[in-house]
Amino acid sequence: MTRVILADRHARPAWAGHPLVFSGAIDRVEDGTPATGDEVDVTDLKGRFIGRGVWHQDSAVRVRIWRWTPGAIDADFIRRRVADAVALRRDVLKLPARTNAYRVIHGDGDRIPGVVCDVYGDWIVMQVTNRSAADRRQAIADAVLGATGAKGVWERAATSYAESEGFHPGGGRLAGEAAPETVDVTDDGVVWRVDLRGGPKTGHFIDQRENRAAFAPLCAGRSMIDVFAGTGGFGIAAAKLGGAVAVLAIDSSKPSLERLGENAAANGVSEIVTSRQGDAFEALRAMEAENIRVGAISVDPPRFASSRKELPGAVRGYHELNLRAMRLLEPGGILATSSCTGVLTDEEFETIVRDAAVDARRRVQVIRRGGQGGDHPWLTAVPESRYLKHLVARVL
Residues 273 and 365 in one domain: yes
Distance (Å, rounded) from C-alpha 208 to C-alpha 370?
A: 9
pLDDT of amino acid 147: 98
pLDDT of amino acid 385: 87
Residues 373 and 236 in one domain: yes
Domain at 57, CATH number: 2.30.130.10
Residues 13 and 120 in one domain: no
Residues 32 and 175 in one domain: no
Q: How many domains does the chain contain in total?
A: 3
Residues 154 and 241 in one domain: no
Residues 289 and 364 in one domain: yes
Going across the sheet that includes 49-55, the strands are 20-22, 61-67, 49-55, 39-43, 3-6, 26-30
pLDDT in tens, 178-196: 999 999 999 989 999 999 9
pLDDT in tens, 45-59: 999 999 999 999 999
pLDDT of amino acid 27: 95
pLDDT of amino acid 202: 84
Q: Establish if 27 belongs to a structural domain.
A: yes
Residues 238 and 377 in one domain: yes
pLDDT of amino acid 349: 96
Residues 245 and 350 in one domain: yes
Residues 157 and 285 in one domain: no
Residues 6+ apart with CB under 8 A from 178: 152, 154, 172
Residues in the chain with pLDDT values less than 70: none
Q: Establish if 148 belongs to a structural domain.
A: yes
Which among 117, 244, 340, 391 is annotated as catalytic?
340
Q: Establish if 47 belongs to a structural domain.
A: yes
Residues 130 and 59 in one domain: no
Distance (Å, rounded) from C-alpha 281 to C-alpha 263?
A: 24
Residues 287 and 175 in one domain: no
Domain boundary among 44, 67, 90: 67
Domain boundary among 181, 214, 230: 181
pLDDT of amino acid 152: 97
Domain boundary among 11, 45, 67: 67
pLDDT of amino acid 306: 86
Give the residue numbers spanning the domain of 90. 75-181
Is 117 one of the annotated active-site residues of the chain?
no
Q: Establish if 22 belongs to a structural domain.
A: yes
Residues 62 and 79 in one domain: no
pLDDT of amino acid 22: 96
Q: Establish if 191 belongs to a structural domain.
A: no
